[in-house]
Amino acid sequence: MLDKWTWQMANRDSKGSRRRLLPFLSAMVIGVAALVAILSFGHSLERTIDQDAGSLLGGDLRISSSDPFTPTEELLIDSLGGMQARRVSFATSAKFSGQSETRTVQVRAIEQQFPLYGDIAVSPHGAEGEMHSGGSVLVPRSTLSAARVEPGDTVTIRGRHFLIAGILLGARVENAIHMLFEPPVYMSLADLDSLQGSSATYDVFFRFNRDMDLVALEADIQKSYEVRTRIVEDEKEDWQEFLALLEGFLGVVGFFALILGSLGVGSVLQVHCKERHDTVAVMRCLGASSGRATSVYLVQAIAMGVIVGVAAGVVGTLGQVILPLGIVDLLPVDINYRVSLKGLLSGLGIGVGATLLFALLPLSGLREVSPLEALRTAYGHRRIRKSRLGVYALIALGTGLCAWAQSGRVVIAIIYTVAIGICFGLLALTALGFIKLARAITPQIRNYAIRQGMANMYRPNNQTLLMVLALGLGTVMIMTQVMTQGAVVGAYETMNFEAVEFPDLVLPTVSSEELEDVRNLVREHGLDIVSQEIMISLAVDSIYGRSIADSAMVDTAGRSNADRSSHFATFADARLDSLTVLEGTFEPEWHDTVGAAPVAMNSLLAREELHVAVGDTIVFRVNDETALVRIGSIFANAALQSSFVPLAARGIILPRGVLETLPHVRSIMLKADDTQSLSAFYGTVTDRYPDLPVLNVPLILGVVQKVFSRITYMIRFMSLFSIIAGIMVLAGAVMVSRQARVEQTVLLKTLGASKKQVYTIMCTEYLCLGFLATATGLGLAMAAAWAITGFQLNVVMVVPKVPLAVAAGVLMVLTLGVGLLNSRGIYARPPLEVLRAEV
Amino acid sequence: MPDSVILRVDRLTKTYKSVPRCLTVLNEVSFEAREGEAIAIVGPSGSGKTTLLGLCAGLDTPTSGTVELGGTNLVRLTENARAALHNELVGFVFQTFKLIPTLTALENVMVPAELRRNRKARSRALALLEDVGLGDRGHHYPAQLTGGEQQRVGLARTFINRPGILFADEPTGNLDADTSETIEH
């Protein structure tokens, strides 16, 4: 079928159309490039992580414990051999010389050979050696700047003064985000004995020969010892999970750009093929079968797909460097950017695949062209064949597969496909409804030019449906992103001390012995206690059957995957104002000493971690005691609330009455009128209780916002692809209707229409199209954003009125502007040239 | 039946289904055409001339009746076989010329021969353009030619495969009297 003649014809036939196809191809290139950029970046990062996983962990294997290793564990460590290095870490407050404020830091007491892979970058040269000689530390540059100190100054940690020997420039073994919360301060392991306090994490790192089976070794250790282990494979897995999440999220954004691009290519091919009906009819009269005639345009579509794929590969490969700019300093490695063959091939595959998929519909239309149309243009309407329904099904399937490939979830893929289908349907219905309305009201319009402009929307060969689909879908996608992003950003901004009153400090685990003294310190420093919830750390001992009646039958096999972890609980007298009960009845008090006490459980914990429902019973373990409880109610999880909202809103709420005797600590939240008293309290409490965690809320919120702003950059960068693709589609949609405008203008001019009248006609039409598409698109975008924010992100959607109005105005002006720009010079065209031309 | 019959039409009927009633355009039309014969079908607008031409050329299917072209019953042919028959046996001249607008005059003339994979398509097309007096206009697009020139290119295209039968649907309907006379000759 694809013989020499077909290729020759495809080439000859495309000569006059190439310039017109360009904007649509550009839109498609942008869409595919967005996906190639994500894939290439992911591939580059994955390869870099693969090469550097050892330096990220600091060795091949890490064994960790919250307590000093027992003699048995020490024997294990000795028996493992290989190169070894030890590290002890703990969070504590550090007071820098000349400063009244203290800062939370993560002390890393290390042996000289740590890390076993990679190195620690320091300045000046030799500072690391000085640190190992004792009495001095290495501190990150950001911490030194914030504390306004420099090497040569001192810092007090757990009661001992250290000299700052140098600047810690970087260490791959450190997690960049953790570093923002608790900057690491490196010291020699030999200095550890001179410090107060005991709470710490103890690590031993190992470096083995390459033939060591680390997975088997890790399994053996975990089977026999109560230590935590981590191997390079775990490090790789964690990064692969992160990458999958990142690719999935950004991929969905890229998917929108691809759909826009595909829509552009589909719409231009629709117009292109429609214009070729006559040619196909003639070809068929001259002896070409319908398949052979159609194959000419199939070849053109394939060529377009290849051009798109290759161009997108180049643009996407370059885009991978710009994409992660916002987060590059949060990554532990310097990404070794390379041309990703996988990315290029994917670009080519997606380019050709998507182009062909969206070309199927216009191509199927060409197959139905009868040779009789060469004799008689108005040969009657062709009925929609069953094959077209198959094409629609194929497009839906292709869209679904692409959404699945990007999101990695079948449900999401189905939702997106159905949502896009609904958008198409509603936009088409709106366009057809408007055509009907315009037909009804236009004859009553007195002004001639406006009447003509309106009439253009329903006349034969009008572009109303195509323009509304292209503009409307672009509007839906862009505005859904804007509104969803706005809601998420808004939720984080709300956290920024505006709607929610955050504490300044949180002491999450104040024991009963420490409580009175801490309260006294709070009073002495003039701070206010916002809340002091009782916190009980509950470990699941066993989950019984699904009803109280079965509770006597202990079924330890029914333990969920969360059975070893602990969950925080508090009592019902805590701040519960943000609690929304989803199921069951919330009971704040319970005095029955025989039955199981009814507790309220967070929906995320109940449904996704423990897999329990209202009525189920659980035995919790608290130190050496156990407590039998029943799920009395389930309350809504507030997904985007920070860790500083009452913990009750995130875990388990116990009724007052019978469980007060369980061992517990207090979570105390404090607010201060001024930073001096806050800082003074911080210093005193951390000096007196070096093991007591103290959270500096503003500092942590600042870091959260910093991290979030980096992620927002990536989302906005990806959105840019969609916006550019949308504008390309818009420009292209307007451009395909240029010939109709030219012919109409020339005829009107010949009949005596003035320039003003001609442009009024065009303005009326473009404004109507812009308004129609924008209004429908915004309506659909609001519905989509409401669904996404409400059901998927669990944040409150606030309609951003001003941005919405601006966007609507911009879209309408853009439609009008692009339309008029595309129509420039039309009035000046010599009528004879146009009237004689067939193209 | 003598061998010289190239077109045989027997009880040909064409009915268009339209609401509220069916419209019969041709009702049991029968005739024969022999090689070398010229038949003109005349009638007022809407009398079914183009419909009959389309059915005779196999461009449409009849409601009933048969059309034999070169001894082959068109009704029984597959689409591909009908396309091959067009290419071998049939030439068309259209009222509105129907040149492919994206191809040059020369490329337009070459199309039927190229479809047959005729390696001499180009030289034969050039010769035919010379014959119709357009030897120097081969690289021009249809939009750059006058109506008469376009129709002459159409004629050259029609004859490139040496058709056995020529169908012409008002071939001079869009031309002035002088040009019409040239075309007819």
Nearest residue on chain A to B102, alpha-carbon basis: A13
Residue A691, pLDDT score: 72
- Position A200 scores a pLDDT of 81
Query: Can you give the C-alpha Rg of chain B in angstroms?
Result: 18
Q: Is A642 in contact with A571 (CB distance < 8 Å)?
A: no
| Chain-chain contact of A838 with B59 (C-beta, under 8 angstroms) | no
More confident residue, A562 or A257: A257
- Do B49 and B100 fall within a single domain? no
Q: Which of B77, B103, B128 is the last residue of a domain?
A: B77
Is there a single domain that holds both residue B64 and residue B106? no
Give the Cα separation of A674 and A56 in Å (integer): 41
Confidence class for position A374, pLDDT limits 50, 70, 90: confident
pLDDT at position A493, please? Answer: 52
A571-575, A646-650, A670-674, B173-177: lowest mean pLDDT where? A646-650
More confident residue, A228 or A193: A228
Measure in Å the smallest separation between the Cα of B27 and chain A Cα atoms: 19
- Look at A12 and B107 and tell me if their CB atoms are within 8 Å: yes
The DSSP secondary structure of A714-756, one letter per residue, reads HHHHHHHHHHHHHHHHHHHHHHHTHHHHHHHHHHHHHTT--HH
The minimum CA-CA distance between B124 and chain A, rounded to whole Å, is 16
How far apart are alpha carbons A95 and A170 in whole angstroms? 22
Q: Highest mean pLDDT: which of A243-252, A536-545, A600-609?
A: A600-609
In this prediction, residue A704 carries a pLDDT of 67
Q: Kindly state whether B14 is in contact with chain A, defined as any CB-CB distance less than 8 angstroms.
A: no
Three-class SS of residue B133?
A: coil
Nearest CA in chain B to A6: B115
Query: Which one, of A37, A431, A397, A446, lies nearest residue A251 by Cα?
Result: A37
A839 touches chain B (CB under 8 A): yes
- CA dihedral sign of residues A440, A446, A451, A454: negative
Decide if B83 is inside a domain: no
pLDDT at A616 over 50: yes
- CATH number, domain at B176? 3.40.50.300
Residue A579 host element (H or E) = none
For A72-119, how does the pLDDT look when each residue is reduced to its tens digit (9 = 90+)? 999 999 998 889 999 998 878 788 887 766 777 889 999 998 888 888
- Confirm if A323 and A43 have CB atoms less than 8 A apart: no
Among B111, B144, B146, B153, the residue to mutate for chain A (most A Cβ within 10 A)? B111
What are the angstrom distances between the C-alpha of A35 and each of A279, A314, B51? 37, 12, 53
pLDDT of residue A144: 87
The pLDDT tens digits for A640-694 are 344 444 444 457 888 887 777 778 888 888 888 887 888 788 878 877 887 777 7
**pLDDT score, position B117:** 83
Would an 8 Å CB–CB cutoff place A440 in contact with chain B? no
Complete DSSP assignment for A205-243:
EEE--TT--HHHHHHHHHHH-S-EEEEHHHHHHHHHHHH
DSSP string for residues in A253-294: HHHHHHHHHHHHHHHHHHHHHHHTHHHHHHHHHTT--HHHHH
Which three-class secondary structure state does DSSP give residue B67? strand
Name the residue of chain A whose CA is nearest to B94's CA. Answer: A375
> Hey, of A18, A277, A375, A376, which one would you mutate to test binding to chain B, going by the most B CBs within 10 A of its CB?
A375
Of B31, B47, B77, which residue sits at a domain end? B77
Provide the token pair at B99: 């040149």
Q: What share of chain A is helix, strand, coil (3-state, %, to 5)?
A: 55, 15, 25
Of A16, A286, A839, the CB nearest to B87: A286
Asked if residue B151 and residue B73 are part of one domain, the reply reads no
Record: contact B94-A374, CB cut-off 8 A: yes
Cβ-defined contact of B16 to A380 (cutoff 8 Å): yes
Q: How far B24 CA lies from chain A's nearest CA (Å)?
A: 15
Contacts of B101 in chain A (CB under 8 A): 16, 279, 838-839
CB distance A375–B100 less than 8 Å?
Answer: no
Interface of B with A in 88-147 (CB under 8 A): 88, 90, 92, 94, 98-103, 107, 111-112, 114-117, 141-143
- Cα separation, A672 vs A503, in Å, equals 8
Task: Assess if residue B63 is contained within a domain.
Answer: yes
Q: Which of A249, A256, A243, A248 is nearest to A41 (CA)?
A: A243
pLDDT of res. A544: 61
| Count of residues making up chain B | 185
Dist CA A466 CA A729 (whole Å) = 11
- Asked if residue B119 belongs to a domain, the reply is yes
State the residue range of the domain holding B108.
93-184
Confidence tier at A553 by pLDDT (50, 70, 90):
very low
Does A372 touch chain B if contact means CB atoms closer than 8 Å?
Answer: yes
User: What is A147-201 written as a DSSP string?
Assistant: TT--BTBEEEETTEEEEEEEEEEEETTS-HHHHHHS-EEEEEGGGGGGSS----E
Which residues share a beta bridge with B44? none
| Cα distance between residue A507 and residue A809, in whole Å | 50
Asked if residue B82 is part of any domain, the answer here is: no
What string of DSSP letters covers B154-165?
HHHHHHTT--SE
| SS3 label, residue A97 | coil
Is there a contact between A838 and B101 if contact means CB atoms under 8 Å apart?
yes
Q: How many domains, in total, are found in chain B?
A: 2
For B104, nearest residue in chain A (alpha carbons): A12
pLDDT in tens, A149-191: 889 999 988 878 899 999 998 787 777 667 767 789 999 998 8
Residues of A in contact with B83 (CB under 8 A): 284, 287-290, 292
Based on the fold, state whether residues B118 and B168 are members of the same structural domain.
yes
Contact B59 A13 (CB under 8 A): no
Contact criterion met (CB < 8 Å) for A289 and B79:
yes
Least confident of A111-115, A259-263, B163-167: A259-263
Please tell me the predicted confidence (pLDDT) of residue A565.
52
B79 contacts A12? CB cut-off 8 A: no
Ranges A196-200, A365-369, B133-137: which has the least confidence: A196-200
Which of A11, A12, A285, A370 should one mutate to test binding to chain B, selecting the residue with the greatest count of B CBs within 10 A? A285
Query: Does any domain span residue B137?
Result: yes
- Select from B77, B112, B133 the last residue of a domain: B77
Examine the domain organization and report whether B99 and B72 are in the same domain. no
Q: Domain locations in chain A?
A: 61-211, 528-671
Question: Is the model more confident about A293 or about B17?
Answer: A293
pLDDT of residue A495: 47
Does residue B84 fall inside a structural domain?
Answer: no
Is residue A492 pLDDT above 70, yes or no? no
d(CA A672, CA A707): 26
Give me chain B's average pLDDT, please. Answer: 86
Q: Count interface pairs A-B at CB distance under 8 A.
A: 96
- Higher per-residue confidence, A492 vs A351: A351
Q: What is the mean pLDDT of residues A544-563?
A: 38
Q: What is the mean pLDDT of residues A285-304?
A: 90
CA angle A610, A614, A619 (to 5 degrees): 55
Q: What confidence tens digit (pLDDT) does each residue in B59-70 have? A: 888 999 999 998
> Is B169 in Cβ contact with A375 (below 8 Å)?
yes
Over residues A403-440, the pLDDT tens digits come to: 787 767 788 788 878 888 888 888 889 889 989 998 89
Beta carbons of B111 and A283 less than 8 Å apart: yes
**Chain B interface includes A5 (CB < 8 A):** yes
Q: Which of A244-258, A563-577, A592-606, A738-752 has the least mean pLDDT? A: A563-577
Over residues B93-127, the pLDDT tens digits come to 888 888 888 888 999 999 888 888 888 999 999 99
Contact: A287, B60; criterion CB under 8 Å: no
Question: In whole angstroms, what is the distance from residue A212 CA to residue A653 CA?
Answer: 48
The reported pLDDT for the residue numbered A715 is: 64
Residue with tokens 């960790």: A64
CA-nearest residue of chain A to B79?
A289
Tokens in use for B102?
A: 């994206």
Residues present in chain A in total? 839
Nearest-Cα residue of chain A relative to residue B119: A5
Q: Cα–Cα distance between A501 and A483 in angstroms, integer?
A: 25
Residues B116, B158 share a domain:
yes
In terms of domains, do B165 and B113 share one? yes
Q: Least CA distance to A379: which residue of chain B?
A: B51
Q: Which one, of A165, A174, A173, A167, lies nearest residue A132 by Cα?
A: A165
